[in-house]
Structure 1
Amino acid sequence: MLEQIMNSPNFNYLGRGLAAANLRQEVISNNIANVNTPNFKKSDVVFEELLAKEIGMDDSGRLPLVRTHDRHLPVGMIGGAKASIQEDDTTTMRVDNNNVDIDIEMASLAKNQLYYNAMATELGGYVNKLKNVITSGQS
């Protein structure tokens, strides 16, 4: 029973989302720390696009639903899309070949903080619901 709870899609997706946000925080911090380093190329974290492909979203952002039985709806497969770091060596912002734009990085940092907080709140709510279900029959 516990294994089913821990392997549920909600728990899996939210956990990987938190891990991606954590990695993105490190990457953005590294970009900001190297804003004045000559020849430094910024990096980005790719996760959301990989997750969308994993769960079968089409280009419009919609999930296709397929019925396998009149009373069943499909359950998404839990795959292994993981956050990965991608270096951007295609652009140059300054004469010293550095491509870090501090304004974009600071905005990305704020956006990532909001994303992390939302994921943490959702995961906490999910765990709280599980706790309530487990303890509802006890006095």
Structure 2
Amino acid sequence: MALQIFGNTVELLGKTLDLRAKRQGLISSNLANVETPNFTPSDLSFEKELKNAVSKGSSARLDVTNPRHIPLKGGTQQLDRVQGDVLETPDKAEGPDGNSVAMETEMGRLAENQIMYNASIQLLNKKFDGIKLAIKGS
């Protein structure tokens, strides 16, 4: 039902929020370990994988194996498979204790990720506001 009302937008925004939350946790962990000896920071890369899933999903079709099946467009299965890649992101200037967390870099990533998360929330709210407006008829 949600696919018929929203298309893939709600599923895409939901997946984006999940991945951004996961990335926020990784960045927070990096900041929490800024003084841990031999700690290597990590980050979550998912944008390219998400774009590929969206482009594949738009052309994918579900097979109708019975004449009584309702034909649907594919797409959400591709989004479900996106998990992102956790990558180590050591700073070039490793400290004397082996820690390679650059606090300034991590704070920048944290801020950027939070802005993108908030933007996704706002887009999702606009989608729901449009549906509310259509239901009210005003």
Which bin holds the TM-score, normalised by the shorter protein?
A: 0.7 to 0.9
TM-score by length of 2: 0.74
Where is the helix percentage greater, Structure 1 or Structure 2? 2
Partner of 1:9: 8
User: Which secondary structure state, in structure 1, belongs to the residue aligned with residue 55 of structure 2?
Assistant: coil
Matched, 1:126 2:127: yes
Paired residues in the alignment total: 121
User: Which secondary structure state, in structure 1, belongs to the residue aligned with residue 37 of structure 2?
Assistant: coil
TM-score by length of 1: 0.73
Report percent identity of matched pairs: 32
User: Which secondary structure state, in structure 2, belongs to the residue aligned with residue 56 of structure 1?
Assistant: helix
- How far apart in 1 are the matches of 2:82 and 2:18? 9
Partner of 1:77: 75
Paired residues for 1:47-126 under 5 Å: 47-56=46-55, 77-78=75-76, 79=78, 80-84=80-84, 86-88=86-88, 93-126=94-127
Instruction: Please list the CA deviations of residues 2-40 of structure 1 after superposition, one character each: whole Å capped at 9, or x if unmatched.
Output: 56337x300000111111111111111110000110111
- How far apart in 2 are the matches of 1:54 and 1:84? 11
- How far apart in 2 are the matches of 1:30 and 1:90? 14
- How far apart in 1 are the matches of 2:44 and 2:116? 13
Equivalent AA in structure 1 for residue 17 of structure 2: L
Deviation at 1:132, TM superposition (A): 1.3
Task: Flag structure 1 segments of 5+ consecutive residues without an equivalent.
Answer: 58-64, 66-74
Instruction: Please list the CA deviations of residues 55-104 of structure 1 after superposition, one character each: whole Å capped at 9, or x if unmatched.
Output: 239xxxxxxx9xxxxxxxxx773312434351417766223222211110
Partners of 2:40 and 2:89 within 8 A in 1: yes
- How far apart in 2 are the matches of 1:32 and 1:4? 42
Deviation at 1:107, TM superposition (A): 0.5
Partner of 1:135: 136
User: Which secondary structure state, in structure 1, belongs to the residue aligned with residue 86 of structure 2?
Assistant: strand
CA RMSD of aligned residues (A): 2.8
- How far apart in 1 are the matches of 2:88 and 2:10? 31
- How far apart in 2 are the matches of 1:90 and 1:117? 27
- How far apart in 2 are the matches of 1:30 and 1:85? 16
Partner of 1:23: 22
User: Which secondary structure state, in structure 2, belongs to the residue aligned with residue 21 of structure 1?
Assistant: helix
